[in-house]
Every structure is written in structure tokens, then in C-alpha cells.
Amino acid sequence: MRGDKLVILEVHVKAARQLAELLLPQIEESRKKFIITIAGESGSGKSEIAKVLFDLFAEKDIETIILQQDDYFVYPPKTNSEMRKKDIGHVGLSEVRLSLLDQNLRDIIDGKNLIEKPLVIFEKDRIDSETLNFDGVKVIIVEGTYTTTLKNIDRHVFINRTYEDTRESRIMRAREEQDDFLERILKIEHEIISSHKSQADIIITKKYNAEKNCGK
């Protein structure tokens, strides 16, 4: 999403480094493009950890592209916010074109190099499109709240921090007004997203340690 602001902290770097240690052997063994999701609640650090992981892979000469779930929303952010105010039942997986994202990933796996995808322009509250070239790309990182539900994935990563844990991070990011209505939305999202934790291959703990999900 164009216009998004990242606040990268040392804890994000720590988590990304541990994540890289777990993933690199699998990536190096893989003979195909390797797809990773990073999921979690609002403000948990998905975008920040994805960016640091991208940089760590670049240091290893591993060409990587980040895809953001935010680009796949049905409506642009400000319009979507108004839809939620009209009907809070609008909040949930149906807000996102997850099937399109999954299809884009399927096309990449099948060897298609040029992929046309949506692109959200945050400040203009508009959804455009862009074409990305995946020729030579080894790793695709897909970050977003509901990305654990995607099918065409090699490894799912889940950040185990709730909306209550992330309040300070959300204030620093300043993307949304922190009010009672937002708390209601975040509680609904929490009920949905927390159920996805058991499906993840790797858990990033509240203290930002990356650990294999032994319970999977």
C-alpha cells in the first residue's frame, strides 16, 4: 500500500533475525519460489518485520518481493472505514479479496512472471493496479491480518500480540483515530485472527522471539 508509514524498532529487527535463521535453510533447499506469510493483529509489527526480513534476505543476495494484504481490500481505506461505521458487521475476511491474492500466488508458483495486482493509494483513498515482475525472485513475503488463511504458502508466521498489546504501536503509527469504535473493530478482528494461530508454522511471541509452532 502506497503511503503506509513504518516504525521499525529493535524488537522487529530481533524477531526478523530469528525468523531468518529458521527460514533460510528451507529457502536454500527449495527448488521453487518460497512463499511466507506474516500475520497478526493491527499494530503487531507485520509490515516492519517483513521489511527487516526483506533486507536480511537482500544481504544474502536472495531476491524478495513483499505483497501486502492491504492492497487487496475491496474498498480503499477511508471508504472501508465509512462502510464499517454504517455497519460494524462489515468487519471481517469478506473485506479482503483473499481469493484474488491466493490466485496471484498460484500464478507465481505456476511460473507466471508478470502479475497484475491491486495497489492502494492511501492518501487518495483509491485503488489502482500495478504489474510486478517475479522473474528471478526467490522469496515472496505476504503480510496482513488474515494471511494465515491463504493456501498457496510454504510457511505461515503468526505474531502473537493482541490489540491490547499493540496499543502503543498503533498510536505511534497514527494511521487511525484511537477511539471506542476502533476498539470494537479490533475486538472483532481479534476474535477472528486469534483462531488462526494454531495454523501457523512459526510463532513470534509477545517478547518478539521466533519459535517453531510445536503444537501444529
Give the tens place of pLDDT for each residue, 120-135: 998 899 999 999 999 9
* Per-residue pLDDT at 169: 67
Where would I find the H helices in 6-109? 10-29, 46-59, 77-86, 98-109
* Per-residue pLDDT at 166: 80
Which residues have C-beta within 8 Å of that of residue 10, sequence separation ≥ 6? none
* Per-residue pLDDT at 120: 95
Residue 60: CA count within 13 A, CB half-sphere: 17
Domains of the chain: 10-212 (3.40.50.300)
* Per-residue pLDDT at 174: 55
**Ranges in the chain, pLDDT < 70:** 1-4, 169-178, 216
* Per-residue pLDDT at 180: 87
Q: Which residue has the cell 462489515?
A: 90
* Per-residue pLDDT at 165: 85
Among 141, 158, 151, which Cα is nearest to 208's?
A: 158
Q: Which residue has the cell 500495478?
A: 130
Indicate yes or no: pTM above 0.85.
yes
* Per-residue pLDDT at 167: 72
Q: How far, in Å, CA of 88 to CA of 85, rounded?
A: 6
Distances (CA, A) of 152 to 18, 155, 178: 24, 10, 35
Q: Return the C-alpha cell found at 70.
A: 492491504
Average pLDDT of the chain is 93
Distances (CA, A) of 19 to 10, 24, 46, 80, 144: 14, 8, 12, 32, 17
* Per-residue pLDDT at 51: 97
Q: How far, in Å, CA of 133 to CA of 154, rounded?
A: 20
